[in-house]
Chain A
Amino acid sequence: MSMFRAKKLDIGCFTNIKIIRDHSKRKAFEAAEPERQALRYIIRNTTLPARTRAIAQLQLTQMHCYTRPTQIRNRCVMGGKSRGVLRAFKMTRFNFRMEALAGNLPGVKKASW
């Protein structure tokens, strides 16, 4: 969805279309989050009239899928892969191993006992 994409590339890691897409989803979610939370509040609030809550439900489901937090997936910043990504290092296990062995990750040491 190109309307969510930044006109100029604004990320400085490995870039492919999947990373750009994920990044634009993150930006879209950030922009739409207050609205989503407001709608979710209306839906959850049982003291409001049923009609209002139903309308809020419809509005929430009809928001663009890029504004949904479940669309966001952590990807590897070194190679763009989506599976086996270590959350703390934002890297796949292989890239993590390579970087760790090269000594690029402060505090990471190969265990041996």
Chain B
Amino acid sequence: MSVPRARLLSLMKAQCELFSTTYNPEGIRTGNKILRQRLKGPSLAAYYPKKMYKFREFQEEFGQLELLVEDDKEVARLEHVAALKARGKGAPKKKSGPPDPTSFKKKK
């Protein structure tokens, strides 16, 4: 049993109207499949984990709310430095100003 083509086409047209797709009986390439594709940029760009908060940024955020957050490691480090300085074993002072030009001369 064969169905006339015109009838099939009218069925196709009704189908397209019903499901709101494009009626394209000749199968012309309109490139619509490109428009149907989802954008994959956002998922590709999210591959590497985002940067986490630094402790200092955390502190600053809470500082605005006048809440005090202590960095235990930093406090311990400062105590250690203070102890070294008290024993006279601290880091030397930074030089101020340009170096003395005579110090670059070669010894004879």
Question: Chain A binding site: helix, strand, loop or mixed by DSSP?
Answer: helix
**Cross-chain pair count, CB within 8 angstroms:** 68
Question: Chain B binding site: helix, strand, loop or mixed by DSSP?
Answer: loop
The answer to whether A29 and B44 have CB atoms under 8 Å apart is yes
CA distance A11 to B52 in the complex (A): 8
The answer to whether A44 and B33 have CB atoms under 8 Å apart is yes
Q: Which residue of A lies closest to B46 (CB)?
A: A26
| Neighbour of A44 across the interface among B31, B42, B44, CB < 8 A | B31
CB distance from B18 to the nearest CB of A (A): 24
The answer to whether A44 and B34 have CB atoms under 8 Å apart is yes
Within 8 A of B (CB), among A79-95: 90
Q: Does any Cβ of A come within 8 Å of B108's Cβ?
A: no
The answer to whether A33 and B31 have CB atoms under 8 Å apart is no
Interface size on B, residues (CB 8 A): 20
Q: With A33-B39, A33-B41 given, is the CB distance from A12 to B52 under 8 Å? A: yes
Residues of A within 8 A of B30 (CB): 44-47
Within 8 A of A (CB), among B1-54: 28-31, 33-35, 37, 39-42, 44-45, 47-52
Point out residues on A near B: beta carbons under 8 Å: 9-13, 19, 22-23, 26-27, 29-31, 33-34, 37, 40-47, 69, 72, 74, 77, 90
